[in-house]
Amino acid sequence: MPVHTLIGVGYDSNIFVVTGDEPIIVDAGTGMHTRKVLDKISTMAPGLAPKTIVLTHRHIDHVGGASEMAAKFGAKIDIHEADAHSVETGDLRSTAASTFGCALKPMAVNHLHDGDIISTGDHELKVLHTPGHTIGSMCLFEKESGILISGDTVFANGVGRWDLPTGNRSDIERSVKMLLSMKPKHLFPGHGEVVYDSASEAIKESLTMLGEF
């Protein structure tokens, strides 16, 4: 499954473009660099017309650019139901928008649930609800190629923070262990470098750092 990576600039999350008959974009950055991001996307995949922007969780560094991107492409925005209310109401605190000094306009979103399938036409990504970083954090997993898009639940070098509003340490531990049980091969995290071929090893190490594995 072709996944194109735009490593986050400044505070922006990484942004992933999954191409196919029905391309999707995963995460949208803070919104501070959306123009540049859109330029990069049009250079990378000319004429790309994603119909869906999937947000891995409610935090501003992932959702801030979503409205502008959705308007540009005429796309809908998907987010797990447990994080949906915060972006529908533009809640500055639990999205961390106030911490980043960002504005967040309420946005209309489609609610995702654990086990939902998002199709790119060529491939199917399964929604995995992974609470812990936020209560509505989710990952996308494509079984055939072993691709895991993990948001801020787990990175190349550690697990996500659990001390922010709606975060929970035992939840994130359980979520990361569940992800490991899927035996992912490639890890596309919300921040930092992508891990090719050794995703499970990286996740195991991240759990070790948590002191629980």
Which H helix or E strand runs over 44? helix 34-44
Q: By CB under 5 A, tell whether 61 contacts Zn ion.
A: yes
- Alpha carbons within 13 A on the beta-carbon side of 20: 20
**CA-wise closest residue to 188 among 10, 16, 9, 1:** 16
Closest CB to Zn ion among 61 and 78? 61
Q: By CB under 5 A, tell whether 13 contacts Zn ion.
A: yes
Provide, rounded to whole angstroms, the least separation between the CB of residue 133 and Zn ion: 6
Which range in 39-47, 106-114, 122-130, 146-154 contacts Zn ion by CB under 5 A?
A: 146-154
Q: Which of 8, 17, 41, 59 binds Zn ion (CB under 5 A)?
A: 59
User: If 0-12 CB within 10 Å is exposed, 13-18 middle and 19+ buried, where does residue 174 land?
Assistant: middle
Q: By CB under 5 A, tell whether 190 contacts Zn ion.
A: yes
Instruction: Provide the token pair at 170.
Output: 């035992």
Closest CB to Zn ion among 47 and 101? 101
Closest CB to Zn ion among 46 and 101? 101
Q: Roughly what angle, to the nearest 10 degrees, separates helices 169-181 and 199-210?
A: 150
> Contact residues for Zn ion (CB under 5 A)?
13, 59, 61, 152, 190
